Amino acid sequence: MSGALEGVLVADFTRVLAGPYATMLMADAGATVVKVERPGAGDDTRAWGPPFAPDGQSTYFQSVNRNKKSIALDLTDSGDLALARRLAQKADVLIENYKPGGLRRFGLDYPSVATDNPAVVYCSISGFGSDLGKDLPGYDLLVQAMGGLMSVTGIQEPTKAGVAVVDVLTGLHAAFAVTAALTHRERTGRGQRIEVSLLSSLLSSLVNQSSAYVGAGTVPTLMGNAHPSIAPYEVFATADRPMIIAVGNDGQFTKLVGVLGDEALADDVRYATNADRVRNRVALKTALESRLAAGGADHWQAALTAAGVPCGPINDVRQGFELASRLGLNPVVNIDDPRRAEPLPQVANPVHFSATPAVYRSAPPKVGEDRDEVIAMLRGNSEPLNT
């Protein structure tokens, strides 16, 4: 079966995380992605370790660069620049995350590329936009801080997320935008420019928290593991270790207190509705933990799950993968690749298509290893990859 994006050629002028994640998702869907890297060093993340895989590659780089072809090009060299421009002319999609305006001097900005390739879908990723924020460095941690995410994350002080979540969200927005633009092009024959910024992606992804400010003027604050609008919906101590209880409606609350053996809590006027429970969250947590102290987390998870109350333990990453495996989600794939002695384990694409499943053609490439193949394709010595 062919991938949904088979026949789409992507010129990937991105590095680090947001852009490479977007292009890997497209590669998984069948697109041919040509990754343009700096000669010698390549993508910054090639050096971001430990940990390193047995073949010496950074596992950070491996996380977002499978299914791609690598060509190393020095854009200050006339010959290499000519190849880069030829790639841009042939591409269905060009994605870049240079400093805003940084590709203009190479003739690889949108107006220049669209002159010879008007159907191109050209996606620019930046930290703070291409106008007044163009000089601000687009690092995930900075955007988590400056965009407000850290102000609502943590218990006693603002805390970053444990992964570069803004980069990932921006990559998802970019991949969605590109596929939407390709659909538009299929209908009209016209390409377009797309701009995606980390800051805008974060503000959109704050969803209910950002809506609280925009719609009601409420500025969210640190709440630790509690939820601003739902209770009980946080971490609770048990006899042995903490667990999550996530009650989303009054019916679930009634079931919860029934399992805990204290139905009177459901009749307490302080907890009659979700709004009441939110207002009296601290007292409610104390009352619930006094009952939860009678048993361990595993006991309560079994009993509450059987009753239809959402709950679960706080797993580490290994336990998260073990859970997904037990549930038949197949979270790991092994990619056979002639460049490596052993198959390379990778985190599977999370999307399951019934007709066009994700494809795993190759492991992440070495710097510039596909140069000859890419040059032959650009010179027309092989069948064109784009349609």
Give me the active site residues, please: 167
Q: What are the DSSP calls for 251-278, one per residue?
A: HHHHHHHHHTT-THHHH-GGGSSHHHHH
Structure tokens at 370: 């596909």
Strand order, beta sheet including 32-37: 68-72, 32-37, 9-13, 93-96, 121-126, 192-197
Single out the residue of 329, 235, 323 nearest to residue 285, CA to CA.
Answer: 235
Which residues, 6+ apart, have CB-to-CB distance to 279 below 8 Å?
270
**Could you give the CA distance from residue 167 to residue 202 in angstroms, rounded to a whole number?**
9
Q: Quickly tell me which residue has 């596929």 as its tokens.
A: 179
How far is 222 from 199, CA to CA, in rounded Å? 20
Residue 292, by phi and psi: left (phi above 0), alpha (psi -120 to 50) or beta?
alpha
Q: How many residues does the chain have?
A: 387
